[in-house]
Amino acid sequence: MTEQAFFVLTALADEPRHGYGIVREVDELSGGRVRLKVGTLYGVLDRLAADGLVVLNREEVWQGRLRRYYRLTDSGAAALEAEAVRLAENVRSAKDRLSARHGRAATAGGSA
């Protein structure tokens, strides 16, 4: 799963959102590291929809423009959960290795 897809799914985990709302939420969730342009967002949404991870929730007209709201499906929630677990395991592995490295450096009397 791409980082963009991960954050889009995360943005939709608590409630349906329209495109601009997703863009803002992804920016906030990622601390500004992931900035989605509209074309990129809809490409990600199309792929997630094709995989059954998100669906169109509703459409409404706001200030003369059509807003499409997307929501996470049960499959999308399961995929997000699996990815969160995978990422947490990766972090744990990296921290374990770094701890071991620091332990070796301390017993060797220097930095590695």
Q: What is the CATH number of the domain that holds 98?
A: 1.10.10.10
Q: Which two tokens stand for residue 73?
A: 């499906």
How confident is the model over 33-86, as pLDDT tens digits? Answer: 999 998 899 999 999 999 999 999 999 998 999 899 999 999 999 999 999 999
Q: Which domain holds residue 97?
A: 3-104
Whole-prediction pTM value? 0.85
Count of structural domains, the chain: 1
| pLDDT attached to residue 103 | 77
Q: Is residue 62 part of a domain?
A: yes
Q: Is residue 112 part of a domain?
A: no
Over 8-58, what HEC string results?
HHHHCCCCCEEHHHHHHHHHHHCCCCCCCCHHHHHHHHHHHHHCCCEEEEE
How confident is the model over 76-98, as pLDDT tens digits? Answer: 999 999 999 999 999 999 999 99
| pLDDT attached to residue 111 | 54
Q: Is residue 109 part of a domain?
A: no
Q: Output the CA angle 66-71-18, nearest 5 degrees.
A: 30
Q: Which two tokens stand for residue 103?
A: 């332990």
Amino acid at position 100, single letter:
A
